[in-house]
Amino acid sequence: MHSTRKVKDDLIYVGGSDRRLSRFENLFPIPRGVSYNSYVLLDEKTVLFDTVDDSIGRQFTENVLYALGGRELDYLVVQHMEPDHCSLIDEMLRRYPQAKIVCSARAVGMLSQFYALDVKDRALVVAEGDKLSTGRHTLHFMMAPMVHWPEVMVTYDEPDKILFSADAFGTFGALAGNLFDDELQLDSMWMADTRRYYSNIVGKYGAQVQALLKKAAALDIEMICPLHGPVWRGNLPVLLEKYQKWSTYEPEEQGVMIAYATMYGNTENAAQVLAGLLAERGVHNIAMYDVSGTDVSELVAESFRCSHLVLAAPTYNGGLHPRMEGYLADLKALGLQNRTAALLENGTWAPVSAKHMRTMLESMKNMTVLEQPVSIRSALADGQRASLEALADVLASQILA
Ligand SMILES: Cc1cc2nc3c(=O)[nH]c(=O)nc-3n(C[C@H](O)[C@H](O)[C@H](O)COP(=O)(O)O)c2cc1C
Ligand SMILES: [Fe+2]
Ligand SMILES: [Fe+2]
């Protein structure tokens, strides 16, 4: 049975959600599932914006057939060639043999690479600023290279002021009937997943997201239809403000995240003591994570949120605890910048973990590493409380400034 929703009288949501997949890209845990969004526009010509992942292919096909109500499909706009949106292109082209593919030049090659689809005869290749009239609607195409992949483009629907934004403004989280952001409680889970999606999937491409935001700023936008998660219309200023911060690597909040690694609990204890000292100094909402027990995608998201990072780790085989090393490598790969970090190391015979963490942080842009890491020999010694207090003083004074 079809499961569609009206976005506008002539715009139908035909996507669906997967709650079975445990990891998106076989990498990121998605306990709340994920949606693959797709939209049918019913104008004098009909348009389908992107398709979906194989996993929801049957639901999608039923939705498209229902939405078109027996009409032919004239255009399939392919904004992004990642398989989570392309698996059903082949199926659509077979069902609608006269449909034209509207896509960027780079997408044409990818269609043949992924699906052995030679679409040259039926591709309407568009470039920056090109327009397509479908009747009442005029679609404007804007290139958004590397707002996830190089072939990405987005589409602005002129009369209805809708931006079809591809992966930009997407989020993890399945949709349960409620399609619009103003039908959902955004504050906790949805915003955390939007942040985790942004930071891990497009976090590296801040400059390219900035370029897209500049183009978007020149448009009058009433609604954003992304390829994952809710359609945004009630909270656009909030979302755009978050994107502005994330894409310029500015912290969202003056706040501290303590990430610790531990084998036997002694480094954890030091992190706990420090957290208490920070709290006594008036720091609120302290976030603390064991890097072994927290998925690195959460650690990355929290690092994009907080202004201050406390990194605490044991020395491991003459180097850094591997989970801490993996997390910092991810931060570097995603290009995080502009944070202040405090280091806490542990080692029983030759502690070197602070040196390793410092080297990794200093290879990133604009990271301030506070001087004098706290160095523990196996377990916090009585005399070391003072050094944790001194560190808490510095952190609290910066965070509460
Ligand atoms: C596999 C392994 C390798 C280690 N390598 C080193 C090392 O190279 N240098 C060192 O000083 N301590 C090393 N240690 C000791 C730990 O860093 C030290 O015991 C630390 O206090 C553990 O902190 P924790 O209680 O938070 O797990 C190693 C421990 C393990 C289990
Ligand atoms: Fe993508
Ligand atoms: Fe996607």
Distance 271 CA to ligand 2 centre (A): 37
Assigned token pair, 283 = 């720091």
What is the spatial distance between Cα 390 and Cα 370, in angstroms, rounded to a whole number?
12
What is the spatial distance between Cα 285 and Cα 263, in angstroms, rounded to a whole number?
26
316 lines ligand 1 (CB under 6 A): yes
Q: At what angle do helices 296-305 and 322-333 cross, to 10 degrees?
A: 50
- Whether 313 and 324 have beta carbons less than 8 Å apart is answered as yes
pLDDT tens-digit profile of 205-238?
999 999 999 999 999 999 999 999 999 999 999 9
Q: What are the domain boundaries of the chain? A: 5-247, 256-399
Q: Is the pLDDT of residue 188 over 90?
A: no
Could you list the beta-strand ranges (E) of 78-206. 100-103, 123-125, 131-133, 138-143, 153-157, 162-164
- Torsion, Cα of 248, 252, 258, 261 (10° steps): -40
pTM of the model: 0.96
- Whether 181 and 234 have beta carbons less than 8 Å apart is answered as yes
The residue nearest atom 29 of ligand 1, judged by CA position, is 316
- Owner of token pair 């969004």: 37
pLDDT tens-digit profile of 376-393?
999 999 999 999 999 999
Among residues 66, 65, 113, the alpha carbon closest in space to that of 92 is found at 65
pLDDT tens-digit profile of 281-325?
999 999 999 999 999 999 999 999 999 999 999 999 999 999 999
| DSSP annotation string for 348-390 | SS---HHHHHHHHHHTSTTPEEPSS-EEEESS--GGGHHHHHH
Q: What pLDDT does residue 118 have? A: 87
- Which residue among 273, 316, 356 has the greatest number of ligand 1 atoms within 8 angstroms of its CB, and so is best to mutate? 316
Q: What pLDDT does residue 187 have? A: 80
pLDDT tens-digit profile of 94-120?
999 999 999 999 999 999 999 998 898
CATH architecture under which domain 5-247 falls: 4-Layer Sandwich (3.60)
Strands 39-42 and 11-13: antiparallel
- Whether 271 and 162 have beta carbons less than 8 Å apart is answered as no
Distance 86 CA to ligand 1 centre (A): 47
| Mean pLDDT calculated for residue range 175-182 | 98
Residue 100's identity, in one-letter code, is K
Q: What residues contact 69, with CB distance under 8 A and at least 6 apart?
A: none
Residue 249's identity, in one-letter code, is Y
Q: Do domains 5-247 and 256-399 have the same CATH topology?
A: no
Helix (H), strand (E), coil (C) string for 191-211: HHHHHHHHHHHHHHHHHHHHH
Among residues 349, 370, 273, the alpha carbon closest in space to that of 357 is found at 370
- Owner of token pair 């359609």: 231
Ligand located closest to 34 CA: 3
Q: What residues contact 117, with CB distance under 8 A and at least 6 apart?
A: 89, 90, 93, 111
pLDDT tens-digit profile of 130-163?
999 999 999 999 999 999 999 999 999 999 999 9
267 lines ligand 1 (CB under 6 A): yes
Superfamily of the domain at 256-399? Flavodoxin domain (3.40.50.360)
- Which residue among 273, 323, 325, 348 has the greatest number of ligand 1 atoms within 8 angstroms of its CB, and so is best to mutate? 348
Residue 346's identity, in one-letter code, is N
378 lines ligand 1 (CB under 6 A): yes
28 secondary structure, DSSP code: E
- Whether 83 and 115 have beta carbons less than 8 Å apart is answered as no
Distance 386 CA to ligand 2 centre (A): 48
Q: What pLDDT does residue 96 have? A: 97
